[in-house]
Structure formats: C-alpha cells, structure tokens
A and B are shown apart, each in its own frame.
Chain A
C-alpha cells in the first residue's frame, strides 16, 4: 500500500474550519427554524395534556431537525465535494474506519435517546397522574361512561342526583338510591373540569381520539379503559353559542376571542367550542364515519344551562307519547343509527345504510303480509330477514331484548322493548307528504300533529313487539 498517497488523500477529505462552522450554523439554524413550526403542525391546544405533549414535540422536532439537517447536509456535501471528476478512474483512499469517530457517533445518539426518554417519561407521568375531584357538577362527581359501537360513540352520564323510584321498583337494604342518568352522542365538559372517562365497547376494538387534546386510548372488549384530561380555553376562544331558541350560532373570530365579561356585556353568553372525537382503530366498513364531538363550554354555568340541566329534566320527565319518546331516544345517541342512515329530521347523514326519510310512508308497503309496524319491528330486531335492494346482509346489527342472542343470531346489541316501541313510533311518523296520517303503520294523528291516543298507539305497537319475547325464552 502506498502510504504517502493515502496520507495525501486523507488530508484532502477533512473540511476546513470555516466550512465546518458554516455547516454547524446551518444545522442548528435549520433545526431551530423547523421547531418554530410546531404550533402549525398540530391542531389547537385544548387541554393541559396537549400543552405538555406539544412541549415534548417541540424538543423532538428540534433534535429531529438536527439529525435531518446533519445527515442530509453531509450527504449533499459529499455528493458535491466527492463526486468523481471526468476521466478520473482512480479509487478513493483506502480508509477502513476511525475508532474515535465511531465512538463519538455511538455515544452522542445514546445520550440523545436517554435525554428523550427522560423527557418523555416526565411528560407521560404528569399527564397520567390521576387528578382528584373528577367530573364535578355543582361540586359533586358524576360518572361518564363512553361506549364505542360500530359506528358511533355514545356517552352515558350518571349524575350525582337521586331519581325517584319507578313504579314497582324497590330497593334492597344497603342498596344505593338510583341516580338520574342520561345518554348523549355528544361529550360535554367545561373549562376547569377534570374529566375522567370510563370506556367500553359493544363489539370490536375502537380507539378514542381527541386530536385537539392529544389523547388516545383504545376501547377493548372485556376491559374497561380510562382516559383523563383537563380542558382549557385555546387562543381561538369559544367559536359557537346557542341562541335563545337553542340553535347553534357560529361566532366571528373576534367574538370568539372576547373575554367572558366582554362577551357577556355584548349578550354573547353560553359560548362553547367543539372538537372532533375520532375513532382511530379500524372497526369495519363505517370506520371513517365513526366520530363525535366534544363540546367545551366556557364555564360550569354555561355547561349546566345548555346541557346538563335540560338533560336531567328530560330524564326525570320522560314523555308518554311514543313518538316523542322515540325522538328523545334517537337524539340521545344511545344507538348508533345516525352513522349509517340518512334522516333529515334528526340531521343524520350516514350513507352506508338505506335512507330513513319518509320511511313511515313506505314501511307498510315493503314486504307483503307485513304492516308498517311489523316491518319496522322486524327490520330492527331481525334486520337480515328482509334486505332493502342494494344492501348486504350483516351490515345492520341486531338489536334484541337481551344480550343472550336467539339461536343463529350473533353478535347482538341490546334494545329494551320499551325503547323499540318508541323508536317504531317515531319512524312511523316520518312522512314526506306533510300529512302525518299518510303513515302506513295505522297511527292516527290529530290536527296538531300529536297522536290522537298515545295509550292506544303504545298498545298497537306492543302487540307486535311482544311477539319477539318468545325468542328469549
């Protein structure tokens, strides 16, 4: 080996001090600039946890940026500086390594990953340390259960308020008084509440993700998982409010950013903001449509006035009218119908199932021998018996009276007979002609659009739904 030639070449490949200095400046400068992009790379920061996570992300982006610019910079430099010149047919220098360099580029990355591990651990611990006093409403805790089902989220609120015993209901000794509870397809909270969710699934694995909160937790059959977070106000403020008639109004960015006092002075009370809740674990054909919203009210007062109190009132005063009862059940999101069906009266926009607009006019004409009530009951209870043309068996889940499925039917969702009666009543009232008496279920409405005789209608529907009871014996 020609040592002199090798030494000569080796000295050519060490860049000059100014070159190194410029190179380092580009790397550090590039990484710092990159890390300032952190806020626009992520959604709004709507929880305390998001603030901590984003701090960690900025560090990750900074260090990632250093590695990125270092490696790409060295590559570009090498490609330009060490490209072969025309007609040069010689080999490069016979260099096999450099122990010092190799130790350096083993130790430095090792130190970096130790630092990152420690930082991640600190953030993880801060974010997952349980808070006391979760889900407080007027100083008392409630329980919030999240249920994932193909393809909708529903939220069950068990409030601290006691409810009167139902007819025939008795308490055994030592049993706690039953609480008022209600379900919704929206998650409501307010700034300052510590939220704790207990999460389950009815069928497959789902994953509960609120991008604005940087939180994600799978819900799994056979396990209850929990998620905790503390919502905060973001820089964009509260972008919506409910007007006097309960309709959602979108505020201008300026109105949204006003302080609570300034907004109240302008009459802009009851402000809130909302973020998407996404399912992020593949759960079947409607996976992409499985989302809900979390509403963050600006304070507890707004939360109580706009969500909590009306829900508690409705739970304590259920309507007798099966049509109104059915509407309340469907609106609550206790069943995932909205994710597959279109129904304009409730704002449903699902596309994977047949439209329910005007179903009350069609129901009695669908299947020979079945009147409207019988058809609707069968479609919900045993949906594969008759398939609307263009839709496959198995897309619509079963909704039976108990979790124990009748022979040959599985998997199964529970829909108590009382709920089924209300839902059938509501669907029968879906007509497009404008005249409710055009329904093909035989329901009779008076001129005000109310049922002529609620009790008779309940009896009429129950005569059909009762026939399914024998399946469970």
Chain B
C-alpha cells in the first residue's frame, strides 16, 4: 500500500442528475433510494415540527385555550414524538446510510438492492397510517403508549399507531441487515475494517442494535394490539396482566433506539470534524470501539426510564450500568476535541453544525448523568427536565448532525454547493433558537412542571413564554435550510467531485456519481483521515486532475492544498 493510488486518470464526462420521475418510482439504485428516504423524512420533519409549534402555542398560557380539549393536546405531542423518532431521525439516517455506505466502500450498490427499495417503500404507508389516526380518534397515550391508558382508554388511532410502528420496525430491520452485509462484505481491496470511514463504523454499530432490539418492539406492539383488538389481558392488571411488562419490553427496544438515533450522528461528526479541520481523527480506534461499547452497554440500561415504577431493589443496578455508558461517550467527546485541536478549522456551515453538535450534545450528556442518579431522578422524572435532556440529545445531537451532514454531502448528491451565507444564518438561528427553547426547560422541570400537560401552574408561565418564542425562531430556521436546498439544487455553485478535498471514497467520483458509482474500481487511500501528509495531498490532487475542477472553485471557500501540484506551504500563522 505504499504506492500512491490515483483513482482515475481521465476526466469524467459530466453526469446528469436523475429526473424527478425516477425519484417517484420504485428504484433499486441506492442513491435514488437515499434521496427518497431524505425527502420523505424531511416532509415528516415539517409535520412533526408544526405539531411541536402547536404544543408551544398551547403552552403560552397556563390554561387550555388553543386546543379543543385535553385529548387533542395529548394527541399533538403523541404524534409529534412518534413522527420525529420513527419518521424523521431514523429514516433520515437511513437516507445517509443508503446514499453513502456503498460510495464510501467503493461499491456499486448495496448488497440487497431490492430489499433496500422495499425497506423504503414501507415508510410512506406507515406515515400515512399514523396520521390517519386523526380520522378515527387519534392516540393520546404519548409515544411511549403506556397501558392501560393505551389499551383500555385511548382511541382507535392507538391501534393504527401500533400497526404503523410495526411497519416502520420491519423497514428498520430490513435496512439494518442490508447495511451489515454491505459493510462486512463489500469493502474494496485495501480497506480493512480498521481503515473504514467512521460513518460506516457508526452505521455498523447502529445496525447491530436495530437487528437485536427492534424485534422486541415488534413483540411489545403485538401484545398491545392483541390487548386492544384481540381481547387478551397482557397489560390488564384486573385480569391478571401486568402494566410493567409493557414498560420493560418497550424500553428494552426504546433505550437502544436512542443510540440508533445518535450513533450515526456521531459518525457524521467524526467525518466532518476531521475533513473541515484538515486533521486526522484523533483516536480513530477508540471512536470506533466506543460505538460498539455504547451499542453493547446500551442494552443493559433500559430500566433507568422506569426509576419511579420499577421495583426499588432493581433501581441501583440500572443506575450503575447507566453511569458506565458515560465513559465511552466521554471518550468520543474528548477524541473529537483532540481532532480539531491543532487543526486548520474552516467554518463551513457543515463544520458549524458539527461544532454546534459538540457543544449541545455535551449538555445532554451531563443532564443524562444527573438523571441516572436515582434520588435526583425522582425529582425530575417525567418533567420538563427530561424533555430538555432528550431534546439536547436528539435535537442538539441527532438533528444538528443531520444538518451538518446535509451541508457536507448535499454537493455530492446534487452536484451543487449549498449557499454558505444562508447556511451561516441557518446555523445562528438554529443554535440560538434551540438553546433558548430547551435550556430553560431544565429549570422549569426541576421547579415542578411535569411534561405532557396542557394546563400548568401559573408560576411557570414566564419561562414558557421565553421557550415558546425561541421555539418559533427554531421553527423558522428550518425554512431557511429548505429554501437553501431548493434554491441550490438548481442555482447553487457547481461543486465538482471533491469540494472539501476529503479522502474518503465517496469523493473519488463525480458529483452526482454515475448510476454505477465508479467508472473503475476506486483504490482507497491507506488512511481515510490521513490529512497533513504529502501522500494525501498527492491523492487529492489526483482526484482533482481526474475529475476536473469547477470554474468558480475559488469564490467562497479557498480549497485546501494547491492545484496544480506544488509542495504544501509550511505551516505558519
């Protein structure tokens, strides 16, 4: 592997983007499927976001005045949570996984293209089914759907909810099997597991979780459906059932599901921090292994969601396992700081969101450790403190990393750059809107405001007004991103094959890539993050020579390295 590999010697002809019709039809091309996933997820993100703003609008006052009744309010946050988890974050990472894994591995497609398409096409009907609950009396039991509220009391929308999640679970499992087989079998010659991009490592760990945990969700949902429509009594204490049974099985899936939603984001951040600070990932092996450690320990902590209902003697053991999971998470955070430390940080929009991820996710991590401490948990369990905590993890973590990924990989998908000025505006509004929406919730929760209430004690109103205003700033910021994507899709600056001068293989082909991804089998660079070496410069220059540079390459972002080839200038300020 000592030779410097030049992937392609000749300039590629420009590749046309697939037409709209191809995106609306059944396709087995992983790139089409990736975009289908992304657009579907973004639509649901807008729906979930609108529901969230409905929640905040109701909470501007302590009384029930915006929604018709308590049930309508309850279905608002039930569907908000379900949509955001199952129809936005999970499918959105499915989008990046589908689009990027074959490209990062230098493969022509996923291992099972047909299965891949099937996994996607289960999502739109499931989403329609979920929202269709509004036609028959929507669920009001929250996304956690604890019985007996969800079995004996909630409307028929609850049945549709359970069937919808069933479909989405099948979709997840099919997708995950595909990822695992692709990653383990389709790496190119010269790429061992330890030379694989960290995004692939993250998706590998995620997929193991999906394959092991999701069947438990399916089991729980089956029991719930049987209780609702089959006359059984698994969760009906009056007929010999047990309400804790649901909580145990549900969280046995749903805690690992948190890592299903966060690990891919961690993979994204590992990529972006390295590329945009022009420095190798610090502690590559530790980051890869900590993903696996989180995946493993993540299966032993589920009952920390049940500290106020679990048998008292079981609470301390679950506190200990929960505390342990802070260690691999800490390793990642410190490794990311090590990655940017001493680098040449470029404040691209992708990088801003990756740095924003770091600074917000760590707050979610700290509140997570606080929540693990059983005596303190009693005070804040099922309050706005918890709402704040998981939004720092799932918005400050997952969504920030999704935004970063959109700015980073949009040029590969569309062949065009997103507008950087709009990107910075988007980041500023998102960061401020997010922080002031969710940070004050810690305090509100500790002082005594439970979650999932439409009516609350008047002393909490002032904070809820602050939170409400910030949430509308946050909601507005999303529109900037969507406008940017729509505008840049046709009018953005031409990206070229490798606008960020990144070393992973998805950049060693045209943007967008041809239907078969690579004209010749690409040869990976020996180190996916080997920035700062002359060999890496030579490899990147060879990509530029092979695919050419767009005309206006230098206008907004100076390219790293020099073209044509010359020795890299010495470091200096």
Contacts and interface: CB of A to CB of B under 8 A. Distances in A.
B71 A282 contact: no
Q: What are the 6 closest A-B residue pairs judged by CB atoms, nearest first?
A: A222-B237, A285-B70, A288-B453, A13-B342, A288-B455, A211-B448
B149 A207 contact: no
Interface in B244-297: 244, 277-286
A230 to B, nearest CB: 15
A128 B320 CA distance: 18
Given A41-B443, A68-B363, A282-B149, A109 B243 contact: no
Given A84-B346, A97-B282, 8 more contacts: A56-B373, A67-B362, A75-B359, A90-B344, A113-B324, A116-B323, A221-B148, A288-B70
B489 to A, nearest CB: 28
B344 A205 contact: no
Interface residues of A, number: 95
Interface of B: 63-64, 69-71, 73-74, 140-142, 146, 148-149, 152-153, 236-238, 241-244, 277-286, 308-309, 312, 315-316, 319-320, 323-324, 326-327, 330-331, 333-335, 337-338, 340-347, 355, 358-359, 362-363, 365-367, 369-370, 372-376, 378-379, 381-383, 443, 446-448, 450-457, 530-537, 558-562, 568-573
A87 B537 CA distance: 17
B366 A82 contact: no
Nearest to B452: A282
A93 B379 contact: no
Nearest to B342: A13
Nearest to A290: B453
B374 A120 contact: yes
Contacts of B372: 116, 120
A87 to B, nearest CB: 7
Contacts of B70: 284-289, 352
A193 interface: no
A95 B153 CA distance: 59
Interface string A1-12: 110011011101
A123 B530 contact: no
A279 B282 contact: no
B529 to A, nearest CB: 8
Interface string A61-98: 10010011001101100110011110111111111111
Contacts of B153: 203-204, 284, 411
A146 interface: no
A221 B149 contact: no
B344 A60 contact: no
Given A92-B279, A218-B309, A113 B369 contact: yes
Contacts of B285: 97
Contacts of A165: none
A146 to B, nearest CB: 14
A217 interface: yes
A467 interface: no
A351 interface: yes
Interface stretch (A20-28, A100-108, A244-252): A100-108
Contact of A120 (B140, B375, B446, B569): B375
Given A102-B286, A116-B373, A121 B316 contact: yes
Contacts of A351: 63-64
A113 B327 contact: yes
Contacts of B63: 351
B238 A280 contact: no
Contacts of B456: 288
Contacts of B369: 60, 64, 113, 116
Interface in A116-153: 116-117, 119-121, 123-124, 127-128
25 contacts: A8-B571, A12-B571, A56-B376, A60-B370, A82-B341, A85-B573, A90-B570, A91-B279, A91-B561, A92-B278, A95-B280, A97-B283, A98-B282, A102-B286, A120-B376, A204-B149, A204-B153, A211-B379, A217-B308, A218-B308, A218-B309, A281-B308, A287-B74, A410-B152, A411-B152
A282 B74 contact: yes
Given A53-B375, A214-B379, A67 B243 contact: no
A294 interface: no
A242 interface: no
A341 interface: no
Contacts of A97: 282-286, 335, 338
A57 interface: yes
Contact of B149 (A57, A92, A284): A284
Nearest to A222: B237
A315 interface: no
A403 to B, nearest CB: 9
A71 B568 contact: no
Contacts of B340: 78, 82
B355 A221 contact: no
Contact of B342 (A10, A88, A123, A128): A10
Contact of A90 (B238, B278, B319, B453): B278
Contacts of A95: 279-280, 282, 342, 532
Nearest to B563: A89
B359 A71 contact: yes
Contact of A75 (B280, B358, B366): B358
B315 A124 contact: yes
A12 B342 contact: yes
